[in-house]
Amino acid sequence: MLGRHSKYHFLYEKFLNEEYWLCVSNEIVHEYEEILEIHASPVVANLFMKVLEFSENVIRKDPFFKLNLIKKDPDDNKFVDCAFASQADYIVTNDAHFLELKQVKFPTIQVKSLDDFASDVE
């Protein structure tokens, strides 16, 4: 999504223009940092981490509970817990593990694919 050649790069530009909010916890920030260290140059990784740190359209919320709603990949629960704690409208992901949330009656946490989200913010 960060790379200029990514079909989703425009979503990063919209984030920079504060056209939507991003909810993160410390756990999520650490995961982003680990992924960027593997897949991006140190300059890009550092720049993105600074953007997360100083953007006004970032909601930082560390949940005090663990809902444990995703059983197939428990590591994904950090995103669910943050979304619930920050009262996010939905989680944007193409990760199939999040489809488990459709079976959960409460709490209701909506999931959108990147393509659906992209259509919403265009």
Domain borders along the chain are: 9-88
Please tell me the pTM assigned to this model.
Answer: 0.90
pLDDT digits 0-9 by tens, 16-70: 999 999 999 999 999 999 999 999 889 989 999 999 999 999 999 999 999 999 9
Structural contact between residues 52 and 21, judged by C-beta atoms closer than 8 angstroms? no
Compute the mean pLDDT over every residue in the chain, rounded to the nearest whole number: 93
Give dist(CA 7, CA 17) in Å, integer. Answer: 18
Distance of CA 63 to the CA centre of its chain: 15
